[in-house]
Amino acid sequence: MNPTPGWRERWQNFSTRLPALHRDGISLPASLLLSQLQKALDGDELAVEGLQFDDTGGELRLLLKKPGQRLLIIQFRFAPVDWPARRIDVEFSLQGENRDRSLAGRALGKLVQLGLESGLGLRALQRLAAPLGWLELQDGRASVHLQQVPSVARWLQQPLLGKPLAERLQLAAIDTRDNALRLRLARISNPAAQNPDSTAA
């Protein structure tokens, strides 16, 4: 009995969850991000069902468990990074799908669809995101304020050659391709212009 094929298959499955380093940044596979989202968000009211990327953006699938079971499909794409403001903007749209096949569930599904069209879907997302002080949700746009994310804020303030790292190195772009999130980094030629706390003389 040769165990090699089994180990090879396990390694291939494991390697698809590993970040990939590039000369100008890093790629985070959808499977890695999905597992992190599931650990952070799955609970009695919500389950993260899927995440995938293509060249135009991504799709996140959330199962809302109460009342009834409703699938919330979020299609999104990243806007250009506003590094001076330390902000990432994401444009998104919502679609709903009913998972409850009972008569009452089908009726509820129609109400859910009407709710999505009238803005209730956005309000449901805002309620779920309320504990995240760094995430701002508006109609069709989500903004991540990097300086308010504790783990990221510590990285932004790491010293490098007498200045915070975030004034030497910037997140230049975010791409979606090969079912992964590609973060592109670049050196900052004029650090003073990239400091959100600096004021004009």
Query: Is the preceding omega at residue 29 within 30 degrees of 0, hence cis?
Result: no
What is the full per-residue pLDDT of the chain (201 aa) written as tens digits?
455 567 666 656 655 667 888 889 999 999 999 999 999 888 888 899 999 999 999 999 998 887 678 888 999 999 999 999 999 999 999 887 777 666 555 555 555 554 555 466 677 778 877 888 899 998 889 999 999 988 888 888 888 788 888 889 899 999 999 999 999 999 988 655 556 565 444
Across the chain, where does the E strand assignment appear? 20-22, 25-29, 46-54, 57-64, 70-78, 87-98, 135-138, 141-145, 159-160, 163-164, 169-177, 180-187
Tell me the whole-structure pTM to 2 decimals.
0.75
